[in-house]
Amino acid sequence: MNRTVSVNDGIIVSMNDKREVFRGSVLIENNKIVQVERNSSKLKADEEIDARGSIVTPGFICSHTHLYGILLRGAPLKLMPPSDFTQNLQRIWWPMDETMNGDDAYISALTASLELLRTGTTTFADTFSGPNAIKGVLDRIENGVLEAGIRGFISFEATQRRSEEEGYQGLEENERYIKKAKDDKMSGMVSIHASFTVHDDLLKAGKELSDKYSVPLTIHTSEGKWDLYHNLERYGKRTFERLYDLGILGKRTLVAHAVQVNEDELDLIARTGTSVAHNALSNMLNAVGIAPVPEMFKLGINVSIGNDGYIFDAFENIRATYLIHKVNKLDPRVMSFLQVLEMSTVNAAKSLGIHEKLGSVEVGKLADLVIIKPSVRPTPLNESSAYGYLVNSVNGKDVDTVIVNGEVLLKGGKFVKIDIDKVNTKAEKIVSDYWRRLANVTEKVEVLGL
C-alpha cells in the first residue's frame, strides 16, 4: 500500500545540479521523492509536515566515521597524555580496539546512529576495529544501525599490526558482510586501516575485493607524519606514491585525511579520481595538521566531510571545515558556504557511489530529508540567507524533523520510534563494563612485523 508524506512551505536547499534554493514543498511516496513544487504552500499527503520558518535539506552524509568512537565520550582514562598522534593510537585507540566485543560494537552503533540521526546525518561510512571480535561483528553493528533507522556503509578495518593473519581475517569479515547485506539501507565496503600497518599484499587484496564486488575501498592516509615516514623508510616512497604504484587509488577509493601530502601526491589523487574524506575537527584534536583542501578543490578532487568518530553533529563539522582553512591561509575568502555544504551532501554521495540516489532534493531520489528550524531567527530566513544560516548559525539542536527512506524518524526534535531513556540505560550498563575492561588493558607501543 502506498503511503505519502509531504513537507510543505519550507526553504528548500536542493543541492541539485543548479544548486537551487527556493521556497516550496516536497511530496514523498513510499521511499522516494515524487514531486518538488516551488511556491506551493501545501501538498496533500497521508502525513503533512509544516516546514514554515524552516530549511529543508537533503540528509547529510558523513563519509568517514568510527561509530565506536562514541564510547570514549567522557571516558575516565588513566594514562600518560599522548604527545603526538602515534602515541594517541598506542595509548588510546589500539587498547580500545582490543577491548571491544560484540555487545560493545552493537551499543556504540546504536547510540552513535541515534546521535547522527538527531543532528541531521542520515547516511554514514563506518570502519570498525576490534581484533578480538572479528567474525560476525558487522552483523552486530548492522543491528544497532537498523534499530536507529538510518543508512550505513559498514566495514571491518583490516590491519596487520599484530599479525599478518589478522589482516586477512578482517578482509574475510568484509567480504562475508558484503555478500550478506540485504537491507536496502545497509551496504558493505572494504576497509584497510592505513599503509603503515599493512603489507603490500593486503593492500592489493583489499583492492581486488573492492573491484570484485564494486564497493568502496577506504583507507586512512597521511593523517600524521608516521605514515609518511614509514613509507619513505621502508619503501622509499611517499604514502600516495606507494598506493599509486600498487594500483590502490581510483574512483571507488575513498581516502581519509590526506594531511601530510605534497603537490605530486595531490596530482596522483586527482589523476586517479580518488575521493578524500576531510576530518577537520579530528585533525585538530590529534594535532596532525590541516589537509590542503583548497588545493584539492583547484585540482578537481572530490572532497567530502567526515567526523572520524569524534564529534557527530554535522553542523559542527561543516562549520569547522568552513573556518579552519581561512585561518590556515590567512584569507577569509577561502572556502564558501556552498563548498562546505556540497562536501556534506553531493560530494559525500559521490565518494560512496550513491550520488544517483542520494545527496540532493530531487524527483526520483530516495527520500532522506532534514528539516532545520532555527531556535532563534534574529534575521530574515529566506532563499538568500539559507546557506548562511546552515553554515554560520544552526547546530544539531535545531534539527526538527528527519526523514529516512520516506519514514519520519525524528519529529519536533524527538525520536519517533525509539525510547531514548531505555537506550541510555542499556548503554550505561554495557559501557560501564567496557570502561572497566579498558582500564586493565596494557598500552601498546609497537607495530609488529612492519
- Give the strand pairing for 414-415 and 407-411: antiparallel
pLDDT of residue 87: 84
pLDDT digits (tens, 9 = 90+) for 176-224: 999 999 889 999 999 999 999 999 999 999 999 999 999 999 999 999 9
Interatomic CA distance for residues 208 and 213, integer angstroms: 9
Domain 4-58+365-413, CATH class in plain words = mainly beta
CATH H-level, domain 60-351: superfamily = Metal-dependent hydrolases (3.20.20.140)
Residue ranges in the chain modelled with pLDDT below 70 = 442-450
Describe the crossing of helices 137-148 and 102-118 by its angle, rounded to 10 degrees.
30
User: Closest Cα to residue 119, out of 193, 77, 80, 62?
Assistant: 62
All 3 cell numbers of residue 44?
496533500
- What is the DSSP code string of 354-367? -TTTSSS--TTSB-
The helix (H) or strand (E) run that includes residue 227 is: helix 225-235
List, for residues 215-233, the tens digit of each pLDDT value.
Answer: 999 999 999 998 999 999 9
Written as nine digits, the cell of 348 is 559525500
For 439, counting Cβ atoms within 10 Å of its Cβ (0-12 exposed, 13-18 middle, 19+ buried), the class is: middle
Q: How far apart are CA 280 and CA 306, in angstroms?
A: 8
Q: Which residue has the cell 558482510?
A: 177
Measuring CA to CA, which residue among 396, 361, 368, 390 is closest to residue 12? 361
The three cell numbers of residue 76 are 575516565
Residue 208, C-alpha cell as written in the block? 581486488
Q: Residue 168's closest CA among 199, 193, 202, 197?
A: 202
Q: Would you say the pTM of this structure is higher than 0.75? A: yes
pLDDT the model gives residue 260: 97
For 226-284, where are the E strands, in sequence order?
A: 253-257, 275-278
What is the structure's pLDDT at 449? 46
Structural domain spans, the chain: 4-58+365-413, 60-351
Cell reading at 186? 545497509
Q: CA 324, 261, 315: angle at the middle one, nearest 5?
A: 30
Residue type at position 268: L
DSSP E strand boundaries for 263-302: 275-278
The predicted pLDDT at position 442 comes to 53
Contact 394, 24 (CB under 8 A): no
Nearest CA to 403 out of 416, 391, 387 is that of: 416
Q: Can you give the C-alpha Rg of the chain in angstroms?
A: 21
What are phi and psi for residue 336, nearest 5 degrees? -115, 165
In this structure, are residues 345 and 354 in contact, taking their beta carbons and an 8 Å threshold? no
Nearest Cα to Cα of residue 187 among 166, 221, 158, 214 = 214
Cell of 141: 553493528
